[in-house]
Amino acid sequence: MKQFIILTLFTLIVSSAFCNNSEEKTFVVIFSKNELKQLDSSTKYIETNFEDKFSTKTYTGNSDAVLFIKVSECDIDKCQFGQTMVQVNRSTWKPLQEVAFRIIDLSECKENYEELLSAFYEKIDKKKAKSIQSIL
């Protein structure tokens, strides 16, 4: 019994140590309206698959439908998220990556944007950089 408790405690400590990214990840899932019609589905219906686990928000309008999903788990990436099985309609389950037009990890995009921005600021004069930063 003592070894079981020690093993469980050790596992919890090790898993929390590897989970150094404590902030939420936001995934943007873009759907093609035509494909959703063919599947007899909607973003609202697909959103119900995630509502109980994650914070979600859907947007529809004149363009393609979008689903925002905030995930608090630190070790999930867009490939793993795309493999999540979702109920498309009453009788059909498919991986999210087969239903979605595109899955975007906004935190990954933010890091890339910040790297590009810092490289840009290094190349230009300090005066120009200050005036550009004041605009942003």
Give the CATH class of 22-106.
Answer: alpha beta
Query: Hey, CA dihedral for 121, 122, 128, 134, is it positive or negative?
Result: positive
With bands split at pLDDT 50, 70 and 90, how would you rate the model's confidence at 8? Answer: low
CA-wise closest residue to 27 among 101, 106, 85? 106
User: In this structure, what token pair is assigned to residue 98?
Assistant: 């087969």
* pLDDT tens, residue by residue, 33-88: 999 999 999 999 999 999 988 899 998 877 789 999 988 866 788 888 899 999 99
* Whether residue 120 has pLDDT greater than 90: no
* Whether residue 111 has pLDDT greater than 60: yes
Radius of gyration (Cα) for the chain, nearest Å? 21
Contacting residues for 102 by C-beta, under 8 A, at least 6 apart: 28, 29, 30
Secondary structure class of 78 (helix, strand, coil)? helix
Average pLDDT over residues 15-34: 74
The more confidently predicted of residues 105 and 15 is: 105
Residue 38's pLDDT is what?
Answer: 93
Average pLDDT over residues 102-127: 76
User: In this structure, what token pair is assigned to residue 119?
Assistant: 């490289």
The more confidently predicted of residues 67 and 121 is: 67
CB distance 67 to 29 below 8 Å: yes
The domain limits of the chain are 22-106
